[in-house]
Amino acid sequence: MDIFTTFDIAASGLRAQTTRLNTISSNLANAETTSTPEGGPYKKKSVVFRTEPLPFQQHLAASVQDQRHIQGVKVARIIEDTEPPQLVYDPSHPDAREDGYVAMPNVSVIKETVDMMSATRSYEANTTTIKSAKRMAMKALDIGR
């Protein structure tokens, strides 16, 4: 595996984790949203990842070197949670039903915060990989001097 493949794989991880962080931020921002344009409370969204094959040129080079297992990551889709909303008794809320219950989003702030910490750590790991590969390339150039 060459240095540019390392950069490509880490960059695909950065893009995927950025999407994950943006989705988590949206979930946190809408944790109390009881009315959406689609009707009903906000529905939690989750990111689904899948492997991404290398571009043809890199795939060809990898197959020549018998490294077919090298792949990046890509966001396959963003899905909405299918769980029913939480019902909270608050008759003074503007969106309360006749029985006084309000349909609240199924977003757990604690779970979203933990997911955000995990995504942040994954993002940091990918940036560390890029920095390490860059340092190795610079050291290799220094050896040639």
Structural domain boundaries of the chain?
3-143
Q: What is the DSSP letter of 9?
A: H
pTM comes to 0.82
pLDDT digits (tens, 9 = 90+) for 96-116: 999 999 999 999 999 999 999
With a cut of 80, say whether residue 123 has pLDDT above it. Answer: yes
Residues 145 and 140: their CA atoms lie apart, in Å, by 9
Query: For residue 94, how far is the Cα from the chain centroid?
Result: 34
Which residues, listed in sequence order, are joined to residue 101 by a DSSP beta bridge? Answer: 89
Per-residue model confidence (pLDDT) at position 1: 64
Residue environment code for 101-115, b if the CB has 16+ CB neighbours within 10 A, otherwise e: bbbbbbbeeeebeeb
pLDDT digits (tens, 9 = 90+) for 45-95: 999 999 987 665 555 555 555 555 678 899 999 999 999 999 999 999 999
Residues 3 and 9: their CA atoms lie apart, in Å, by 10
Residues 70 and 5: their CA atoms lie apart, in Å, by 9
Residues 20 and 117: their CA atoms lie apart, in Å, by 11
